[in-house]
Amino acid sequence: MADHHRRMLWVALGLNLGLLVVEVTAGFLFSSLALLADGVHQATDVVALGVALVAQSLVRKPGSARHTYGLMRFEAIGAQVNAFLLVAASVWVVAEAVPRLDSPDSVDGAGVLVVAVGAFAVNGVSALLLARGRRHDLNVRAAWLHLSADAAGSLAAAAAGAAVLAFDADIADSIASLAIAVLVLAGAWRLLRDTTNVLLEGAPRGLDLAAVEAALVDQPHVEAVHHLHVWEIGSELPALSVHVVLDGEPSLHDAQAQGRTLKEMLVERFGIEHATLELECHDCESVGSARHVTRSP
């Protein structure tokens, strides 16, 4: 799967690099801020795809004595770099578009329409290539967000070109630019939220911590759980650590068997494959401020 994602990223990179040259050249030739705005976003697409490719190479490196989990966090770091690029591109577009609302430049509507339709086709194809991988990889999701927003931006630029051509409404170019900026900022916000959650070791989105606690406590021979922590090493790779108090005084063999059963349950019900369980036969006297959940009588 990772090799497939990598090939799709390379194809998308080639397509978008060619489109970048076309859009920036056409933007200057036709005096279109919408095309230039789309071109700037296209440049962030190229950088985003490059960052995603580098991050994927680093993520695949095995763990070492210094980095025991490997370099999987580079996935989140690369995606966060892409999010900041999206924000910077949006700010530039807004700064350029607002003054033109009062005094719009003369725009070649036909040229803008032709180039924007071509850009929409390229961005749409690139986004489709990455669509399947976006659910499992933050970097692929970042690149997909770039390309999807750019496809929408190209559509807005095409609409602006059509408005200029049909109604001589040069201001439509600036309005389309602002619409593109809003779309880009929305995608950047979602990406920043998800990558920051990973880097701050937050619980995976959509995972109910109370449900995990309840499932552990409901297992046979479990009296209580405490010091439960769940975080993400990378996208789609949650990790868990927890203290589990077992009833009675089980042998080491029985405790190991119970721990294996609990781990299997965590995989089946919550998709948590990396779990560290500290098994106890007596409740801790002092657990600090940790959440402590016991079996109901």
Q: In which domain, by residue range, is 28 found?
A: 2-199
Domain-terminating residue out of 199, 226, 259: 199
175 assigned to some structural domain? yes
Beta strands in the chain (DSSP E): 222-234, 237-246, 274-280, 292-294
Say which range, 26-30, 69-73, 224-228, has the weakest mean pLDDT.
69-73
How confident is the model at residue 214, as a pLDDT?
A: 94
How confident is the model at residue 230, as a pLDDT?
A: 94
> The domain spanning residue 262 has which CATH number?
3.30.70.1350
Residues 193 and 251 in one domain: no
Residues 251 and 188 in one domain: no
Residue 17 scores a pLDDT above 70: yes
Instruction: List phi, psi (to 5°) of 246.
Output: -95, 150
Q: How many domains is the chain built from?
A: 2
Task: List pLDDT tens digits, range 237-247.
Answer: 789 999 999 99
Task: List pLDDT tens digits, range 141-161.
Answer: 777 877 777 787 778 878 888
**pLDDT confidence bin for 129, thresholds 50/70/90:** confident
Residues 29 and 123 in one domain: yes
Q: 278 pairs with which residues across the strands?
A: 243
How confident is the model at residue 164, as a pLDDT?
A: 85
> The domain spanning residue 179 has which CATH number?
1.20.1510.10
Residues 80 and 167 in one domain: yes
The mean of the pLDDT values for the chain is 81
204 assigned to some structural domain? no
**pLDDT confidence bin for 41, thresholds 50/70/90:** low
Q: 246 pairs with which residues across the strands?
A: 222
Residue 287 scores a pLDDT above 50: no
Residue 136 scores a pLDDT above 80: no
Domain-terminating residue out of 171, 199, 227: 199
Residues 216 and 240 in one domain: yes
What pTM did the predictor assign? 0.68
| Burial of 234 from C-beta contacts in 10 A (0-12 / 13-18 / 19+) | buried
- Contact of 240 with 207, CB cutoff 8 Å: no
Strands 274-280, 222-234: pairing is unpaired
